[in-house]
Amino acid sequence: MRVVIKLGGTLLDAVESRERLAQEITAAAETEQVVVVHGGGKQMTRFLAERGVESRFVNGLRITTPEVIDAVVKVFAGSVNAQLVTALRAAGARPVGLSGLSAGLVDAVQLDPDLGQVGRPVSSDGRLLEILVRESYLPVVACVAGDAHGAIFNVNGDQMAVACAAGYRAERLIFLTDVDGVHDASGKTTPRLTVTEAEALIRDGIATGGMQAKLEAAVSALSQKVLEVLIAPGAVHGIVGQTLTKGPIGTRIVP
């Protein structure tokens, strides 16, 4: 089964969490055709703050000036990617660090001039992922994209995961995050949602902020022939295996 696993930057910030997930993903890659996509927003904010640059956001998206895009490449495609690749290799995998810039893996266009170099994915070529996985390598993709004219864009990690899943023709997309799943109006975790139900949670203002973004990403993935999206708590030990065996954890979104 082709699986894309998206890791949030918070999960990768602590060495213990990063190493545990690396071991779990390595084990999963022995039986499934896995691609990893990662963010790194927490690390990015810290990197900029250490250099006296204030992080500014609009609707959860980081305003990306030329100074910030330089940091995006250094942090997302540089240190965060390298740390995860190193952890996966130590766990026994054969990881290959990539970004959307690699062989035109994910191309994007500017989302909004007011946001600067923030991109919206518009196409994905999954052939590089297929070649690597077929040869038993583990692709590890940072959320940086570009275009054929040399532009570089900062892309939301969830949207990057959707683009990779669509291009790779993944059957399952897994978002490992810092919450236990999608909550309903009463605050309880919902084990299963259809696209219609997910859209209702957004429309009724129940799913907001980061969860709204994840549900919108899930709906987009399902519209691009991904069969199932799972939003699950990355802090739970053994979570990767549980998501692959359809254990009762997190929230599954289906067509």
Q: How far apart are the C-alpha atoms of 109 and 232, rounded to whole Å?
A: 30
Letter for the amino acid at 15? Answer: V
Contact 152, 102 (CB under 8 A): no
Letter for the amino acid at 180? Answer: D
DSSP character at residue 116: B
158 part of the active site: yes
Q: How far apart are the C-alpha atoms of 38 and 6, rounded to whole Å?
A: 5
Nearest to 141 by CA among 3, 38, 242, 5: 38
Residue from 97, 116, 214, 250 carrying the catalytic annotation: 214
Q: How far apart are the C-alpha atoms of 219 and 211, rounded to whole Å?
A: 12
6 part of the active site: yes
Q: List C-alpha distances in Å: 66 to 63, 121, 192, 214.
A: 10, 19, 41, 27
Nearest to 76 by CA among 37, 122, 108: 37
Q: How far apart are the C-alpha atoms of 97 and 139, rounded to whole Å?
A: 6
Residue from 8, 39, 40, 41 carrying the catalytic annotation: 41
Q: How far apart are the C-alpha atoms of 212 and 217, rounded to whole Å?
A: 9
Residue from 8, 78, 158, 250 carrying the catalytic annotation: 158
Q: How many CB atoms lie within 10 A of CB 101?
A: 20
Cite the active site residues: 6, 9, 41, 158, 214
